[in-house]
Amino acid sequence: MEASDTAADAASTAAEDSVTMDKIVALCKRRGFIFQSSEIYGGLASTYDYGHYGVLLKNNVKHEWRRAVVQERDDVVLLDAAILMHPKTWEASGHLSGFSDPLVQCMGECKRRFRYDHLVEDLEAGGKPTDHVVCPVCGGELSEPREFNLMFETNMGPVKDDASTIFLRPETAQGIFVNFKNVMQFARKKLPMGIAQIGKSFRNEITPGNFIFRTREFEQMEIEYFCAPAEAAAKHKEWMDARLQWYIDLGIRPDHLQMRKHEGDELSHYSSATSDVEYLFPMGWSELEGIANRGSFDLTQHAQFSGEKLEYMDPQTNEKYVPHVIEPSAGADRGTLAFMVDAYDEESVEGRERVVLRLHPRLAPVKVAVLPLFNKDGMPEKARALYEELRGVMQAEYDTGGSIGKRYRRQDEIGTPWGVTIDHQTLEDDTVTLRDRDTLEQTRIPINEVTGELVKRLAADWKTPKLT
Ligand code: GAP
């Protein structure tokens, strides 16, 4: 489970960047990536809706995760389990009794609620005493901490009573454990092997915040990797390396990433070892993904509560055992936020300021914009034909609105890596200019080579451009 996410000492490094969370929130709203949910009713706290570019970006993050952990490996298969699960699941997993945070309420003027452990951490980070913690807003006395279960409850069927109580899943992982037997029957795979799943999870967080970093409804990308007990430590290390590298390969600056090992008292009830991939967000180093060694905890618990045997027999040695599990568990929304924060840049080009999202081309919501210089003289026809060819293979946009400079700025802000301009010369010799978002280089190439060139560039390795 998640560790705390504030580290004041690191915030100073983040401050060297031009990016702030306010700038990201403003860009997301301005360009329609992400909006406050139910805005016309004044908004619902800490819930967000993704607009066109936000959906494209988050889908690309999920697609790249699936590519890396399933498509490019032989040992991981997919699953899509239901959000609603048998209530016994949560007894077995320990969530009913143990998935809680310490809640305190201000007894003074403001009556706000806080996570007690976060208040203590903030004081410790500021070098302040923690023996008498008071409300950070109004200075009032706080109630005694009480454990608050984070699972959302609802009822199944027409009768609302204890017997009909079910829960919105707080993690996708349990859907994988309860399907272990089903998947093993059909996957035609031997251990070690993993099951990967992307889906929504829900937590009634006491203090959500930092935009889409911590919300009550979010998407997870989780792998449960099953292996022999003796292999678990080595597989844990392999997954830590692989998952850290994934963020780097998709353009996050390595010095903005770190792996942090959980201390003994920080470990979740199921974990014998956990390390977090942390990113240097504007508010400091914070968890992006947890990679836990869950041992045989989950399969043992579900076997006990369900009465089903959840074991594996090694076909070579005929040895029977309860597999151990390594769990790389990432947040799709949190990943999306980190990719945006890391890609955000501001610079001055020929005396004009531009905001640019230097996203990896594979993550960019739109790969190419086709821009006819004038909306006349046969240019729109040529441009439209190229656009229709391009959109058959990648997300493309056709943009005729405003000056060419304005159109480039719009595409820069949504992170479009390439722009194709159709001009008078195109009408004479069927060549176009291809503009690179990061270098601003413009090259003239034949119009019939554009699609092939961009397909080639999308498949090629990509290096993070130097941010200004
Ligand atoms: N199955 C293990 C598990 O759920 P976790 O550390 O609680 O572990 C894994 O969650 C990841 O899910 C986190 O690293 C984070 O990226 C994401 N996540 C957790 N709670 C979240 C929240 N309230 N809002 C957004 N993302 C969250």
E-assigned strand segments in 378-467: 396-398, 418-422, 431-436, 442-446
Mutate to test the pocket of ligand 1, among 50, 271, 334 (most ligand atoms within 8 A of CB): 334
Q: Worst-scoring range by mean pLDDT, 32-36, 146-150, 281-285, 432-436? A: 146-150
Q: Whose CA is nearest to atom 3 of ligand 1?
A: 1
The token pair at 373 is 């210089």
Q: Residue range 158-165: average pLDDT?
A: 86
Whether 354 maps to a domain, the answer reads: no
User: Given the CA of residue 331, which atom of ligand 1 is nearest to it?
Assistant: 16
From atom 21 of ligand 1, which residue's Cα is the shortest distance away? 214
Name the residue among 461, 54, 418 with its Cα closest to residue 250. Answer: 461
Residue 216 C-alpha to ligand 1 middle, in angstroms?
A: 10
Cα 361 from Cα 420, distance rounded (Å): 15
Of the given ranges (2-11, 97-106, 312-321, 387-396), which has the lowest mean pLDDT?
A: 2-11
Which residues of 249-373 form beta strands (DSSP E)?
Answer: 257-261, 273-281, 284-295, 312-313, 320-321, 324-331, 344-349, 352-357, 368-372
101 C-alpha to center of ligand 1: Å? Answer: 14
CA distance linking residue 186 with residue 102, whole number of Å: 42
- Least confident segment among 4-13, 165-174, 266-275, 362-371: 4-13
Q: How many domains does the chain have?
A: 2
pTM (2 d.p.): 0.93
Q: Is the dihedral of CA 246, 252, 257, 262 positive or negative?
A: negative
Quick one: how far is CA 204 from the chain centroid?
19
Q: Look at residue 187 in the predicted model and tell me its pLDDT.
A: 83
Q: Render pLDDT for 403-415 as a digit per residue (tens, 0 to 9).
A: 999 999 999 999 9
Pocket (CB within 6 angstroms of ligand 1): 1-2, 171, 173, 203, 205, 214-215, 218, 220, 222, 287-290, 327, 329-331, 333-334
Pocket mutation for ligand 1, best pick of 178, 202, 218 (most atoms within 8 Å of C-beta)? 218
Q: How far apart are CA 278 and CA 335, in angstroms?
A: 11
Confirm if 382 and 427 have CB atoms less than 8 A apart: yes
Dist CA 138 CA 110 (whole Å): 6
Do 280 and 222 share a structural domain? yes
Task: Summarize pLDDT for 201-230 with one digit per residue, the tens.
Answer: 999 999 888 999 999 999 999 999 999 999
Q: Nearest-CA neighbor of 121 among 263, 290, 332, 255?
A: 263
CATH of the domain at 446: 3.40.50.800
- Please name which of 233, 236, 212, 213 lies closest in space to residue 223, comparing C-alpha atoms: 236
If one residue of 118, 201, 220, 221 were mutated to test the ligand 1 pocket, choosing by the most ligand atoms within 8 A of its CB, it would be 220
> Would 122 be classed as within a structural domain?
no
Distance from residue 287's CA to the centre of ligand 1 (Å): 8
Beta carbons within 10 angstroms of residue 302's beta carbon? 21
Q: What is the pairing mode between strands 320-321 and 312-313?
A: antiparallel
Q: What is the pLDDT of residue 16?
A: 55
428 found inside a domain = yes
The answer to whether residue 352 is domain-embedded is: no
Least confident stretch, 99-103, 232-236, 257-261: 99-103
More confident residue, 377 or 39: 39
Q: What is the Å distance from ligand 1's center to 331 Cα?
A: 6
Question: How far apart (Å, rounded) are the C-alpha atoms in residues 209 and 334?
Answer: 12
203 and 258 in a single domain? The answer is: yes
DSSP label of 283: T
Average pLDDT score, the chain: 93
232 and 372 fall within a common domain: no
Q: Which of 322, 340, 358 is the last residue of a domain?
A: 340
Residues, the chain, total?
468
Assigned domain for 357 exists: no
Ligand 1 atom having least distance to the Cα of 212? 25
User: With 70 as the cut, is the pLDDT of residue 354 above it?
Assistant: yes
Q: State whether 179 and 283 are in the same domain.
A: yes
Indicate whether 14 pLDDT > 60: no
Confidence class for position 364, pLDDT limits 50, 70, 90: very high
Residue 370 bridge partners (DSSP): 398, 420
Nearest CA residue ID for atom 12, ligand 1: 331
- From ligand 1's centre to the CA of 37, what distance in Å? 20
Whether 156 maps to a domain, the answer reads: no
Residue nearest to atom 18 of ligand 1 (CA): 331
Cβ atoms of 102 and 145 closer than 8 Å = yes
Higher pLDDT, 467 or 214: 214
Q: Would you state the pLDDT for residue 65?
A: 98
CA 230 → CA 176, 177, 242, 293, 296, distances in Å?
22, 20, 20, 12, 12
Ligand 1 center to 225 CA (angstroms):
17
213 CA closest ligand 1 atom index: 25
Q: Which of 274, 329, 337, 339 gets mutated to test ligand 1 (max ligand atoms within 8 A of its CB)?
A: 329
> Based on the domain organization, do 301 and 383 belong to the same domain?
no
Q: Which pairing describes strands 257-261 and 273-281: parallel, antiparallel, or unpaired?
A: antiparallel
Same-domain status, 371 and 334: no
Please tell me the predicted confidence (pLDDT) of residue 110: 94
Contact 110, 143 (CB under 8 A): no
On whether both 276 and 199 belong to a single domain, the answer is yes
Distance CA 402, CA 3 (A): 47
Using the atom order of ligand 1, give the atom closest to the CA of residue 222.
1
Q: Of 323, 340, 357, which residue constitutes the final position of a domain?
A: 340
| 377 and 333 co-located in one domain | no
Q: Is the dihedral of CA 223, 97, 308, 229 positive or negative?
A: positive
Q: Is the pLDDT of residue 177 over 80?
A: yes
Residues 186 and 272 in one domain: yes
- With respect to residue 129, please indicate whether it lies within any of the assigned structural domains: no
Nearest CA to ligand 1 atom 17: 331
Q: Are residues 312 and 377 in the same domain?
A: no
Q: Provide the pLDDT for residue 10.
A: 40
> Nearest residue CA, atom 5 of ligand 1?
1
Domain of 182, CATH number, reads 3.30.930.10
pLDDT band (50, 70, 90) for residue 308: very high
> Domain span at residue 182?
3-84+168-340
Ligand 1, atom nearest to 215 Cα: 24
User: Do 224 and 262 sit in the same domain of this protein?
Assistant: yes
Residue at 80 is within a domain: yes
Tens-place pLDDT, residues 241-283: 999 999 999 999 999 999 999 998 888 888 889 999 999 999 9
Distance 135 CA to ligand 1 centre (A): 27
Q: Whose CA is nearest to atom 15 of ligand 1?
A: 331
Which residue, judged by its Cα, is nearest atom 4 of ligand 1?
171
Do 194 and 53 lie in one domain? The reply is yes
